[in-house]
Amino acid sequence: MKEVIGYDELKNEFFSNISHEFRTPINVLLSTLQLINLQQQNTQVDPNSLNIVKYTNIMKQNCYRLLRLANNLIDITRIDSGFFEISLSNCNVVEVIEDITLSVAEYIRNKGISLQFDTDVEEKVIAIDADKIERIMLNLLSNAVKFTENQGSIYVNIKDKGESIEVSVKDTGIGIPKDKLAVIFERFRQVNSLLTRSHEGSGIGLSLVKNLVELHGGNIRVESEAGIGTEFIFELPAKVCSEESAQKLTSVASQGKVDKINIEFADIYSI
How far is 100 from 108, CA to CA, in rounded Å? 13
Counted residue by residue, the chain has a size of 271
Confidence of residue 190 (pLDDT cuts 50, 70, 90): low
Average pLDDT, the chain: 82
- Express each pLDDT in 37-50 by its tens digit: 777 776 565 656 56
Asked whether the predicted pLDDT for residue 252 surpasses 60, the reply is no
Intra-chain end-to-end CA distance of the chain, in Å: 48
Do residues 6 and 20 lie in contact, with contact meaning Cβ atoms separated by under 8 Å? no
Write phi, then psi, for 68 (nearest 5 degrees): -60, -45
Q: Which domains does the chain have, with CATH numbers?
A: 2-81 (1.10.287.130), 89-264 (3.30.565.10)
pLDDT of residue 53: 73
Which one of 2-6, 73-77, 92-96, 197-201 scores highest in mean pLDDT? 92-96
Asked whether the predicted pLDDT for residue 103 surpasses 80, the reply is yes
- Express each pLDDT in 150-164 by its tens digit: 999 999 999 999 999
Q: Quick one: average pLDDT of 99-105?
A: 94
pTM: 0.78
Burial of residue 147 (CB within 10 Å: 0-12, 13-18, 19+) is buried
Confidence of residue 135 (pLDDT cuts 50, 70, 90): very high
Do residues 263 and 139 lie in contact, with contact meaning Cβ atoms separated by under 8 Å? no
233 in helix, strand or coil? strand
